[in-house]
Amino acid sequence: MPASSNKSRRHRKSVMQPTIADVALEAQVSAITVSRVINSTGAVRPATRERVEAAIDKVGYVRNMLAGSLASASSRFIAVIVPSLSNIVFIEVISGLQSEFEKQGYQILLANTDYNLDRECQLVRTFLGWSPSAVVITGLRHNAACQRILEEWDGPIAEIMELGDAIDLNIGLDHQAAGRRMARYLLEKKHRNIVYVAAQIEQDYRAGLRYEGHKAELEAVGLKAPLLDMDQLGQFETGARSLDIVLADYPDATAIHFANDDLATGALLLAQRQGIRVPETIAIAGFNGLPIGQHVTPPLTTIISPRQTIGRATAEQVIARIEGRHLQNNQTDVGFEMSIGDSA
C-alpha cells in the first residue's frame, strides 16, 4: 500500500505512511470526506462512510494528529503541571484528571516541577508551544514571568489544590481551615503542647498554610505553636527522624501535628517499633487520608483531602470551559473531612 504523493523531492522515511489522500483515492471520494468520517463532523451518507472506513482499513491508515491539530488550531492536549510524581496525592489527582479527560478525547501532557518555580515557568512555556486546549497547574503561587505568561494566555487555566485568588478556574480546599480544624481537634483533646512538623515547608507552602491555620488556632487561646521543619522531603524516614527530634527537643510536647500522612505514618511506625505509646506518650495527627493511615496501629487521625474529586471536578469544569459552556462559579471548594483514628 504505497502512499500517493511521491513527486516530492523531499526525503521522507523509507516507507511513507498512508495519508487521507491515499484513503480518499481508494474510496473514490475527496480528502475532506475522509476527514469528515474520521472526525464525525458534517454529514456523510452511510454508504460513503462505509466505503471510507473500508478504505481506511485496506490502506492501513493511521491518522496524523499533528497535522490535524495544526490545521484546526486545536490540539486536545491538556497541560498538567504538578510539583512531584513521588507524592501519591498528586498521582491521585492526575488519575482523576486522566480518567475524565480521556473520556472526552483529550490527552494529558504531564510534567513535574520538583517544587521549583523557575522550572514551572520553563514547563509552562514549553507546554504552551503544544497549543494545549487548557492548562491545569498546581497551586496559586508562580513566579512573575509564569504568572504573566498564564495571564496573557487565552485558554482555560485551572489552578488546583488550594483556594485563593486565581487567574481563571480554581479548584481545591482551604488549607488554613484544614490546619485550624486539626488544631482545634487537638485542643479539644486537651493538648496544650503541640508541635507542628513539616518537611521543606518553604517549598511545600501548602503545608505552610496549614501551619498558619494551626498556629492561629493555638495562639487564639494563648498557646505557642512550635514548628519543626525537616530538611528532607516528607517520607516515612523523615517522619521517623522527626519523632526522635520532637521527643528529645520538646519534652513537654504531648502531640505532633504532621504536615502529611507520610510523615505521620513514619513516626507512628517508629513509635510502634520502639514501644512508644501513641497517643498516651505522644499523640500523632496527619493530613491527607492516605490508605496506609487506616492500617497502622493505632489508626491515624487525619484529614481526608478529596484528591480524586479535585481531579474529576477540574476536568469537568475545564471541559465545560473549553466547550464554551458558561460556568456559574470559577471557584470550587472541594472541602475536607476529619478522619478520627486513635492516634490522636
Binding footprint of DNA on the chain (CB under 7 A): 5, 7-12, 16-17, 19-21, 28-36, 38-39, 41-45, 47-49, 61, 63-64, 67-68, 70-73
Whichever of 308 and 331 has its CB closer to a second copy, that residue is 308
Whichever of 101 and 185 has its CB closer to a second copy, that residue is 101
9 binds, among DNA, a second copy, none (CB under 5 to 8 A by kind): DNA
Whichever of 102 and 219 has its CB closer to a second copy, that residue is 102
- Measuring CA to CA, which residue among 260, 281, 285 is closest to residue 342? 285
Chosen residue from 4, 143, 193, 272 binding a second copy by CB under 8 A: 272
> In this chain, which stretch among 18-26, 175-183, 287-295, 318-326 interacts with a second copy, using CB under 8 A?
287-295
Cell 488546583, residue located: 160
CA–CA distance, 184 with 303 (Å, rounded to integer):
12
5 binds, among a second copy, DNA, none (CB under 5 to 8 A by kind): DNA
Query: Cβ 124 to DNA, closest distance in Å?
Result: 17
Chosen residue from 19, 33, 35, 75 binding a second copy by CB under 8 A: 75
CA–CA distance, 138 with 87 (Å, rounded to integer):
13
- Establish if 265 lies at the interface with a second copy (CB under 8 A): yes
Q: Which residues contact 155 (CB under 8 A, 6 or more apart)?
A: 132, 133, 134, 135, 322
| Cell numbers placing 225 | 505553636
Chosen residue from 273, 323, 328, 329 binding a second copy by CB under 8 A: 273
Backbone angles phi, psi at 310, to 5 degrees: -60, -45
* Residue 298: cis peptide before it, omega within 30 degrees of 0: yes
Beta strands in the chain (DSSP E): 77-82, 107-112, 134-138, 157-162, 169-173, 194-199, 227-230, 255-258, 283-285, 302-304, 331-333, 337-339
CA–CA distance, 8 with 71 (Å, rounded to integer):
21
1 binds, among a second copy, DNA, none (CB under 5 to 8 A by kind): none
Query: Cβ 35 to DNA, closest distance in Å?
Result: 3
112 binds, among DNA, a second copy, none (CB under 5 to 8 A by kind): a second copy
Chosen residue from 109, 227, 322, 327 binding a second copy by CB under 8 A: 109
Backbone angles phi, psi at 206, to 5 degrees: -70, -35
31 binds, among a second copy, DNA, none (CB under 5 to 8 A by kind): DNA
CA–CA distance, 272 with 95 (Å, rounded to integer):
33
Whichever of 21 and 108 has its CB closer to a second copy, that residue is 108
CA–CA distance, 231 with 206 (Å, rounded to integer):
16
Q: Is 196 within 8 Å of 259 (Cβ atoms)?
A: yes
Chosen residue from 2, 7, 154, 251 binding a second copy by CB under 8 A: 154
> In this chain, which stretch among 20-28, 56-64, 208-216, 332-340 interacts with a second copy, using CB under 8 A?
56-64
CA-to-CA separations, 195 to 186, 284, 290, in angstroms, rounded:
11, 10, 21
Query: Cβ 262 to a second copy, closest distance in Å?
Result: 9
Signed CA dihedral, 162, 165, 167, 168: sign only? positive
Cell 481551615, residue located: 177
Query: Cβ 71 to a second copy, closest distance in Å?
Result: 9
- Establish if 111 lies at the interface with a second copy (CB under 8 A): yes
242 CB neighbour count, 10 Å cutoff: 27
20 binds, among DNA, a second copy, none (CB under 5 to 8 A by kind): DNA
Q: Which residues bind a second copy (CB under 8 A)?
A: 12-13, 15, 60, 62-67, 69-70, 73, 75, 85-86, 88, 91-92, 94-95, 98, 102, 107-112, 125-126, 128-131, 152, 154, 235-237, 240, 265-266, 269-270, 272-273, 291-292, 294-297
